[in-house]
Structure 1
Amino acid sequence: MVGCAVDGVRRILLGVVVAVAAALVGAGPAGAEPVAFPIPDPDPFYSVPADLPARAPGDVLRVRPLPPSYYFPGSTVWEVLFRTTDSLGRPIAANSTFVRPANHVPDGPLVSYQHIINSLGTKCKLVNELYTTDPLHQIREAAGLNLALARGWAVALPDHLGPRMAYGAAKLGGQITLDGIRAVQRVPELQVAGSPVGLGGYSGGGMATAWAAALAPTYAPELSIVGAAVGGAPLNLVKMGEALGTDAHPAFGLAMAAALGLEREYPKRILVTEQLNAQGRLLKQRIGNGCTNEIMFFGLGRSAAEMTDNTDFMQDPQAWEVLAENSVELYPGVPEAPLFEWHSPTDTLIPVDSIEATMRRYCDAGLPVQSLLTPTPDHLSAAALGLPQGVAWMDARFRGEPAPSTC
């Protein structure tokens, strides 16, 4: 369900990122420097068909088998391109990697796992990093996924940042996740058309998972989701932005990346690029198509205040509205599938009180929620410590056992 987060600073996740990024996003005068969209993936598999607007969410656009991956020995791998919806309700194409172990039975369990992607470049998509030989671009969550595959569960791995690599757009991740499930279940050779579905993810991936669970009753009510395992998820981006402000931070590169990613998704409501000074433009140039390591390196110890000469950049209401729209705590919907949720009670990278408030609201609505407080002081070790319980919890859901609750 969740890979071991052992990479130190490299695994400072989307929660911190968007929080600091809140200080940088803001509206400015029209007609300035254009939004910095990513270099398109040159693979023709991702080209958008002309009839995309006529397709329904989850419709399959293309399918192809992929070579065996050394991350998942003995498993068969496919890639599926499908129609989904962006944050403004427009049709877009997204992709998901499907991994089926040799011991999977037709219509056996299917897990959609939302990785921690933390990138702006299309070269950093999960499906691309699955086959790279670059040691700096390894899939760090493969160990946890192999625990699922060993049980015979098929796994869908959506690139939940979408074709614009819109890092920071959390609600988008939930929609792509749900449409990715729809898509793989519509491909007969994948043998999961009637599979029960579980959701899983940690931190930034946990946020996409939490959004998918919350949106499912209205966005994809036909899916048979038996449970969602959500770890260390930042559920209120507004609160994080207010807390962290403009101070220098070791993960500021990721903060800048989230600001640029949100601008890509909301180009008329959040204008970052045109506010940048010379330092900001240089950093944008360096990270605009970068993966996590480049982003972390070039942004180490920087701050939002260094990136702009606009002293009022924290005052724009549209930026805060966008963060609110991407905060699960502020979304009124309640999942229908039971939840397993875990986090460190002393996690300083995410607002723990937002997790508690959201789970309390779900409990009050009658949803079975099992919460686990890991005996660890930090965000990173909590990922691994919650893994065994999360896998066991999901296994029980697939067996049809009633969901326990700590409400």
Structure 2
Amino acid sequence: MRKMLVQSFGIATALVAVMAAAPAAHAGAIFPIPDPDGFYYAAGNLDAAQNGDVLNSRLVPIHPFPGATVWQILFRSTNSTGAPIAAVTTLISPGPGPRPLVSYQPFVNSLGLQCAPSHSLFNGGMKEAPAIPLLVARGWAIAVPDHLGPDSAYGAARMGGQITLDGIRAVQRFTPAGLGVGPVGLAGYSGGSMSTGFAAAIAPDYAPELPIVGVAIGGVPVNPGKIAIQAGDTPQPLFGLGFAVAAGMEREYPREMELDSSLTPFGFWMRDRIANSCVEEIIVVGANHSIGEVFIPGRENDPALIRALQENALETVPELIRQPLYQWHGGNDQVPLDLAQYTAGRYCAAGTPVQFDVIPGADHGTAAFPGTVNAVNYLSDRFAGLTPPSNCR
């Protein structure tokens, strides 16, 4: 990833410098290009449905998961304001019958709908996809929700948690799969860990019937707003991801997160430029830029903006993860380790068994794989009913 950033930075910077001089277009939240596939849009039964109800489904006949049957399921969920939405999850199953189910939330970290897991699972865009057959070989069913929602609202982690939980409900209610109700594990890394963590935290109130036996999250940005403030005006290699959180949150909170009054001309350009981008392009466009280049000072003290950010930050929400938790983080991660450790400490103080591993020398990219191997073994032990480990102090 670093090599890609270095190779692309010169071109991207030159282009950005030219575009930054263009007049700013005050347009409000920039929404993604609609998905051309009509499957993603609910019919008139959306309001009458309950959360987790199946609205539509289709079999995926050609896929890269040998020995599995794959469905895509459209279901009813709820957005950040409590309004009904249609969301999609992809179910990859070795067959019918009671079996463990893992809901895996990938690190989409994107603003374009074409980047959603229901697309990237099949077009080579999802880097984690080659590991899924290994999970299916264990006899597990795997649900992969489009957890950023119908507007790809990256950063709206509470909604991502709701979509994740309703996706599990939909999979269990989907009669053709024949899964019924079995033990559930949650897993996710980076941006996917935000939705995963919220799903675990809100489950006792939002979906108390789900038998979630274990949670595995890594590289967790527990408070993106605080991370941005701590970075100050220092150029950051992953700055694009932080800016994409602001743009994605504006889609869900158009009043609270309204950006027009605080964007610089370069900020307007960047918001337009990445409005339909996947994670790799977002990183390249934003590489080594800073807050002062895109934002005019002052809005960071807006109570409405602060409230919206805090409602979607695992560090600050009152809900706590209560299920057995495995959490990992790179020792040299660009996402602050201390914030992740502090938040895990909140769970420990509440009595949650937490196993927190630091991957020595790993940054945000290189920590993903070793932690994922541990996470799979951790969930396997939870499905087996073993006592969860803990290194809480």
Fold-level match, TM-score > 0.5?
yes
Distance apart, 1:274 and its partner CA: 5.0
Query: What residue is the counterpart of 2:210 in the other structure?
Result: 223
Give 1:353's aligned residue.
Answer: 338
Distance 2:82 2:58 in 1: 27
| Residues 370 and 9 (structure 1), Cα distance of their counterparts in 2 relative to 1, 3 Å cut | farther
In the alignment, which residue of structure 2 is the partner of 1:293?
280
Structure 1 position 260, deviation (Å): 1.0
- 2:213 and 2:187 mapped to 1: Cα distance? 11
Deviation string, structure 1 residues 116-171 (Cα, Å, up to 9, x no partner): 10111111111112233xxxx62101233232112111100001000011011111
Match of 1:125 among 116, 125, 142: 116
- Paired-residue identity, %: 46
Structure 2 letter corresponding to 1:395:
S
Deviations 1:36-69 (A, max 9, x none): 1111111111122223222211111111111332
CA 1:8–1:81: 2 relative to 1, 3 Å = farther
Residue in 1 that maps onto 2:307: 321
Please give the TM-score of this superposition, normalised by the length of structure 1: 0.86
Q: CA deviation at 1:227?
A: 0.6
Assess, with a 3 A threshold, how the Cα gap between structure 1 residues 253 and 334 changes in structure 2: closer, same or farther.
Answer: closer
* Inter-partner Cα distance in structure 2 for 1:358 and 1:298: 31
CA–CA separation in structure 2 for the residues paired with 1:177 and 1:89: 15
- RMSD over aligned Cα atoms: 2.1
Asked if structure 2 preserves the Cα contact closer than 8 Å seen for 1:168 and 1:262, the reply is yes
Any idea what the Cα deviations from partners look like across 1:314-373, whole Å, max 9, x if unmatched? Answer: 3323222222111112122233321111123x3342232222222222222222222222
Equivalent residues of 1:33, 1:274 under 8 A apart: no
Q: Which of residues 341, 345, 350 in structure 1 aligns to 2:327?
A: 341
Deviates more, 1:267-276 or 1:148-157: 267-276
> Unpaired runs of 5+ in structure 2?
6-25
Asked if 1:371 is matched to 2:356, the reply is yes
2:60 counterpart of 1:66: yes
Instruction: Check the 8 A contact 1:236/1:351 in 2, yes or no.
Output: no
Runs of 4+ in 1 over 6 A off after TM superposition: none
Q: Give 2:11's aligned residue.
A: none
Alpha carbons of structure 1 residues 81 and 364: separation in structure 2 relative to 1, 3 Å: same
Deviation of 1:10 (Å) = 7.5
Question: Which one of 308, 317, 332 corresponds to residue 331 of structure 1?
Answer: 317
2:169 aligned to 178, 182, 193, which one? 182
Per-residue CA shift, 1:183-226, capped at 9, x if unaligned? 11100111221221110111111121111111111110000111
State the partner residue of 1:403: 388
Sort the Cα spacing of 1:115 and 1:108 in 2 relative to 1 into closer, same or farther, 3 A.
same
The residue identity in structure 1 corresponding to 2:176 is E
Contact 2:111–2:277, Cα closer than 8 Å, also in 1: yes
> Secondary structure in 2 aligned to 1:54?
coil
Separation (CA, whole Å) in 2 of partners of 1:167 and 1:320 = 17
Provide the residue aligned with 1:262 in structure 2: 249
1:80, CA displacement in angstroms?
Answer: 0.6
- Equivalences for 1:15-164 in 2 at 5 Å? 33-70=27-64, 72-101=65-94, 104=95, 106-132=97-123, 138-164=125-151
Note the C-alpha offset of 1:231.
1.3
d(CA) in 1 for partners of 2:193, 2:40: 26
In structure 2, how many angstroms separate the alpha carbons of the residues matched to 1:53 and 1:234? 33
- SS of match in other structure, 2:361: coil
8 Å contact from structure 1 (residues 229, 341) kept in 2: yes
Deviation at 1:239, TM superposition (A): 2.5
Contact 1:197–1:226 (CA under 8 A) maintained in structure 2: yes
Which moves more between the two structures, 314-323 or 258-267?
A: 314-323
Q: 1:235 to 1:147 in 2, by over 3 A?
A: same
Distance (whole Å) between structure 2 residues aligned to residue 52 and residue 280 of structure 1: 36
What's the offset of the Cα at 1:379? 2.4
Alpha-carbon distance in 1 for matches of 2:33, 2:334: 31
Q: Which has the higher contact order (CA 8 A, sep 6+)?
A: 1
